[in-house]
Amino acid sequence: MKTARSISIALLVVVCAASLLANVFAPASYSAQFRDVPDSPPSKTHWLGTDALGRDRFSRVLYGTRVSLLLAPAAALISTLLAVVIGGVAGFLGGPWERIALWTTDMFLSLPWIFLLIAVRAVLPLNVSPEISIIITFSLLGILGWAPCARVLCTSSRELRDSDFVLQARASGLKTTRVLAMHIVPNLAPILLAQFWISIPVFILAEANLGVLGLGVAEPLPSWGSLLRELQGYGTFVDQPCQLAALVLLVIVVTCFQMVLPSKEFAS
Amino acid sequence: MLHRVSKHVARILIMALVGGLLGATLVRFAPGFDVDERELDIRLSDQSKAALRAELETQHSIPKFYAKYLGGLLTGDLGFSRTLNRPAVELIRERFPLTIREIGIGLAVGWIVGLTLAVPAASLKSWPVTLLTGAVTAALLSIPAAVLALMFVWLRWPASVAIGLLLTPKIFAYSRNLLVHGYELPHVLTARSKGAGEWHVFFWHVLPPAAPQLLALAGVTVSVAVGAAIPIEALCDQPGIGQLAWQAALARDLVLLVNLTLIVTLITVVANSFSDLLGESLKRRPA
C-alpha cells in the first residue's frame, strides 16, 4: 500500500509539473488551428493527433490539465474556508447558531449536488468569455461544495468546544475570537487538510460532468471537461484512440488522489 | 411513533418549501429574468408588449412570485414552459415514470453489485479479493458520470445500469466498512469460534447491527441516483426528468427549474426520512 501511495504521489507530481510547464512542452497553442490536418492521427508534429478543428490534441490536453488541476484545488480551498466559517464557527458557538448551520447543511445535502450545480450554472450567463466561464465554473464548485465538509467540522469543533483545554482557555478570560484562532482552528487543521484533499477529485469529476454537458469551461480554453466532449462523437474513438487521452489522464489522476487519501495520518 | 412520523412530515414540508423558495430566489436574480424574448417580435403591437411587461411586473417581488407559484401549485398549475411551449405539469407527468423506473433499476443494480463486492471483501479478508474489489470500485469512482453515459450509449446498454454502476462504489465502500466492523464484534467472534456457518453468522449476527446504517445509506443513495440520472438521461437521450432538467438549464427555462428543484428536494427528503424512520424502528426493536 505504501508503494502504491508513493507511485501515486510521484505520478501526481509528474502530471502537475508537465501541466504547469505546458508553455514549454506544448508544441502549439491550445487554440492554434492547423486547418490542413483536421482529425489527423498521431504524427511527429502532433503526438496525439489533432481534433476536428485541427488543434493539436497534446497541447490541449496539457493546457486542459493545467486548468483542471490548478482550479480544482482553488475550488476546494473556497469550499473548505466556507465550511470553516459555517460549520466550524457554528459548532463552536453552539445553541441556535449550530442548529441553523446544521439545518442549512442538511438542506444543501438533501439536494443532489450535480442538480444544484446545473441549476445554479443555468441561471448564470452562458455566453461569457472563456476566462470568466472558468471563474464561474470553479467558483460555483467551491461555493456549493461546502456542506459535507461543514457537517464534519461542526461536529469536530463542538467536541473541541467542550474539551478541557478550551474550557481552561475560556475560564482564563480569553476572547472568543482568540480561542477560535489559537485553539479551535489549529486543532481542526488535520480535518481541514483531509477535507480539502477529498474535495479535489470530487471537483475534478464535477467539472468534467459539467464540461461534457456543455455547462463548463467555454471554448477555446480547454479543461478536462471540455476535452471529454470529443467523446460525444459516439465511437469515433475507435478510429482515433487518442481522443481518450484526456479521459485516461483524468482516471489516472483521480485514482492517484484516491490512493493518496486513505492515509492514517488524516484520521489522527 | 406518531410523534416521530409527524416530525418527519413537518421536516419534509419545510425542506420542500425552503428548497422551492431558494429555487425561486435564484431564478428571480438570474440575469435576463425580467426580459421576455417575445418582445423582440416585430409583429406584436405596443399593447401586447405592455401586457407582457405587466405579466413580468407581478414576478418582481420574490414573496409575491413565490406566493403566486405556491397558489398555482395547490391548484395543480405549475406554470408554463416557454422553451418547450407546454404546461410544466404535463412535461413532468410524462417524464416522471421513466425516471422513477430508471432510478429504481439503478438502485437495485447498485445495491446488488455493491453488496456482492462488499460481503466477500469484508468476510474473506484475502488480499486478491480486496485488490480486485478495490480496483473495480476505484475505477468506477474515477470515471465521470457523463463519460459512463457516453460509453453506455456506444455499447447500447440500458442507461439505468449506468446509474447503478455509479452508485456501486459508494455502496461498496460504506457497506464494506460497516460489515468489517460487524465481523469484529465480540458476539460474532464467539459465534464463529463455536463453529457457526458463514451464512448463519452473516444473516444472524453481522447484518442486523448494520441494518440501521445500511438503511440510512439507502436514503442517501436515492439522492445520488437522482443526481446521476441528470447527465445519464441527457446523454443517453432518455426522455426523463434528468433530461428535462438539463434542457431547462441550457435553455434557461426558469419555471421548469423551480419546479424540478421542488420535486428533486421532495424525492430526496422523503427517501431520507423514510430510511431514517425505518432505521429508528429497527434500532428500537428489542433483540
Segment A173-221, tens digit of pLDDT = 988 889 988 898 899 998 899 889 889 999 999 999 988 888 888 888 9
Q: What residues contact residue B108 under an 8 Å CB cut-off, 6+ apart?
A: B164
Q: How far apart are CA B95 and CA B175, in angstroms?
A: 32
Flag whether pLDDT at A268 surpasses 70.
no
Q: Do B19 and A112 touch (CB under 8 A)?
A: no
B15 to A108, A109, A154, B148, B261: CA distances (angstroms): 10, 11, 21, 32, 11
Q: Is B80 helix (H, G, I), strand (E, B) or coil?
A: strand
Q: Is A56 helix (H, G, I), strand (E, B) or coil?
A: strand
DSSP 8-state assignment for residue A145: S
Contact residues on chain B for A205, CB-CB shorter than 8 A:
142, 144-145
Flag whether pLDDT at B198 surpasses 90.
no
Block residue for cell numbers 445519464:
B232
Flag whether pLDDT at A51 surpasses 70.
yes
Amino acid B131: pLDDT: 84
- Which of A15, A102, A123 has the most B C-beta neighbours within 10 Å, making it the best mutation to test the interface with B? A123
- Which of A104, A108, A111 has the most B C-beta neighbours within 10 Å, making it the best mutation to test the interface with B? A111
Q: What is the pTM of this model?
A: 0.84
Amino acid B58: pLDDT: 63
pLDDT tens-place string over residues A120-164? 777 777 677 888 888 888 888 898 889 888 988 888 898 898 899
Closest CA to A101 of A56, A150, A137: A150
Q: With an 8 Å Cβ cutoff, is B137 touching chain A? A: no
